[in-house]
Amino acid sequence: AQSVAQPEDQVNVAEGNPLTVKCTYSVSGNPYLFWYVQYPNRGLQFLLKYITGDNLVKGSYGFEAEFNKSQTSFHLKKPSALVSDSALYFCAVRDRNAGNNRKLIWGLGTSLAVNP
Amino acid sequence: EAEVAQSPRYKITEKSQAVAFWCDPISGHATLYWYRQILGQGPELLVQFQDESVVDDSQLPKDRFSAERLKGVDSTLKIQPAELGDSAMYLCASSSEGDVYNEQFFGPGTRLTVL
């Protein structure tokens, strides 16, 4: 069965420190991988995606993510956290062989708190 | 910048009443999704449309939920009758047919409270 795991419900970091939000996945084929962010009482906003090519993907707001095929991981990173990065982060995956059904499999989310 | 529009933003209703949510996707986006998000959890896909056709409604509780996209543009999600457990955020998203990588654009959501 396809699944996405975000092992940490909450991540706390100090402003200015690097942050990592973890994601591992399980799909039958090769995946498309996504990160979305959700601010309070808002819809989800796309951050970045991995399709193919370079394993390090750069996205919005200074975020990046590294695809690791052997570890089936797609961890979200940022070199220097801002208080405004505090939000809920979701990892999602789609099997690239899914055809017309573009259903994303979503993780349960990780709440990031950046402390001033 | 084009956005997905949803209305209302907030809805409070009593159980057994009917509610309806509206979504207008980004112009030209053929694929439209309705999600339900319970507080503290990830989005759960309820229904996916490709133009006016349903692609996936396997998680839609069809005894009380219905969704339509008659002209392949905007869409309505209805719940009748509403139950206490339906309290959640209902999110609409759309993606371009040309974007095979499935980047989805989300609306602000409708927060439903059933009393």
Q: Taking all residues of chain B, what is their mean pLDDT, rounded to a whole number?
A: 92
A31 Cβ under 8 Å from any chain B Cβ: no
- Report pLDDT digits (tens) over A34-54: 999 998 877 899 999 998 888
Average pLDDT in the B49-64 region? 92
Q: What is the pLDDT of residue B98?
A: 61
- Report pLDDT digits (tens) over B75-88: 999 999 999 999 99
Q: What is the pLDDT of residue A81?
A: 97
Query: Distance (Å) from the C-alpha of residue A54 to the closest C-alpha of chain B?
Result: 16
Lowest pLDDT segment from A97-101, B86-90, B94-98: A97-101
Q: What is the pLDDT of residue A88?
A: 95
C-alpha B74/C-alpha A40 separation (Å) is 26
Task: Answer yes or no: is pLDDT of B101 > 80.
Answer: no
The answer to whether the CB atoms of B42 and A107 lie below 8 A apart is yes
Q: What is the pLDDT of residue A29?
A: 77
Average pLDDT in the A74-78 region? 97
Give percent helix, percent strand, percent coil of chain A, each to the nearest 5.
5, 50, 45
Quote the percentage of chain A above a pLDDT of 70: 96
C-alpha B1/C-alpha A11 separation (Å) is 32
Instruction: For residue B1, count other CB atoms closer than 10 A to its CB.
Output: 4
In chain A, residues with a C-beta closer than 8 Å to the C-beta of B106 are 36, 43-45
Place of tokens 């529009």: B5
